[in-house]
């Protein structure tokens, strides 16, 4: 368990879920709070519901309706911008070799993983045209990161290097520290966008329910 926590600590900003599993960024957490059965409500209650919905929409920023396609495109662009930084790991590996003056064994391992990363990026990144595509790509690249860190933690002669990376992750004067800092900064933007999308989903939900309530009231006049 301690080992897993350390891996997540080192590369917690790198990867997410598999293609068929819930993705913490791509898949929505929003659950509707506005499950009124308008046909079963009296006209008086419908008007109360309408007022409540209008108040909630105002509290939510009076957002206008935004389509799922528009939100998905914005999120995908943000994730790809993040990935532009993430794939710089191939350059960072070269810097790690020089910076830490690693032995031949570690050097060869790092270069092998570098080629693995380059192959995954070359074969999969151009295919990313949708959020579902990104999930699959994200899983493959994240698995390679995890494999690399597992390899360095699994042997006594490479653990020192592994723990030095963990330590230097917070040091912006190191290659791994600068890389991590750039990832964190970009991930913060993604998280902010994720929260904005969740808020927009609620606004869309309110707007659609308001239309349903209005239509039901009009049908009774």
**What does the pLDDT look like over 67-85, one tens digit per residue?**
999 999 999 999 999 999 9
- pLDDT-based confidence at residue 94 (cuts at 50, 70, 90): very high
- Say if residue 105's pLDDT is above 80: yes
- Say if residue 3's pLDDT is above 60: no
Cβ-proximal residues to 200 (8 Å cutoff; 6+ apart), any chain = 63, 66, 71
Angle at 191 between CA 57 and CA 167, to 5 degrees: 155
- Say if residue 16's pLDDT is above 70: no
Give tens-digit pLDDT for 116-163.
999 999 999 999 999 999 999 999 999 998 898 888 888 888 899 999
- pLDDT-based confidence at residue 15 (cuts at 50, 70, 90): low
* Mean pLDDT of the region 110-114: 96
- pLDDT-based confidence at residue 212 (cuts at 50, 70, 90): very high
Give tens-digit pLDDT for 180-211.
999 999 999 999 999 999 999 999 999 999 99
Predicted local confidence at residue 12, as pLDDT? 46
Which of 198, 172, 174 has its CA nearest to residue 184?
A: 172
Predicted local confidence at residue 155, as pLDDT? 83
Tokens describing residue 14:
């790198």
Which of 186, 184, 185, 166 has its CA nearest to residue 176?
A: 166
Predicted local confidence at residue 1, as pLDDT? 40
Percentage above 90 pLDDT, the chain: 80
pTM above 0.85, yes or no: yes
Stretch (H or E) spanning 184: helix 175-220
Q: Is 29 exposed, middle or buried (0-12, 13-18, 19+ CB in 10 A)?
A: exposed
CA–CA distance, 127 with 166 (Å, rounded to integer): 32
- Say if residue 4's pLDDT is above 80: no
- Say if residue 2's pLDDT is above 60: no
How far out from the chain centre does Cα 78 lie? 9
Predicted local confidence at residue 176, as pLDDT? 95
């Amino acid at each position: 368990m301690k080992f897993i926590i350390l891996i997540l600590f080192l590369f917690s900003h790198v990867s997410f879920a598999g293609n068929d599993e819930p993705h913490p960024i791509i898949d929505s957490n929003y659950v509707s709070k506005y499950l009124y059965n308008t046909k079963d409500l009296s006209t008086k209650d419908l008007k109360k519901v309408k007022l409540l919905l209008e108040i909630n929409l105002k509290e939510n920023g009076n957002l206008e309706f935004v389509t799922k396609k528009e939100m998905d495109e914005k999120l995908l662009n943000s994730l790809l911008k993040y990935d532009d930084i993430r794939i710089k790991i191939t350059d960072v590996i070269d810097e790690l070799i020089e910076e830490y003056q690693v032995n031949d064994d570690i050097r060869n391992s790092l270069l092998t993983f570098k080629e693995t990363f380059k192959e995954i990026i070359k074969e999969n990144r151009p295919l990313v045209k949708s959020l579902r595509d990104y999930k699959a790509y994200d899983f493959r690249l994240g698995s390679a990161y995890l494999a690399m860190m597992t390899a360095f933690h699994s042997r006594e002669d490479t653990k020192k290097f592994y723990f030095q990376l963990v330590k230097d992750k917070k040091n912006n004067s190191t290659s791994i520290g600068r890389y991590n800092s750039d990832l964190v900064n970009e991930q913060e933007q993604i998280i902010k966008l994720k929260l904005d999308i969740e808020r927009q989903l609620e606004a869309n939900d309110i707007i659609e329910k308001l239309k349903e309530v209005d239509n039901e009231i009009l049908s009774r006049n």
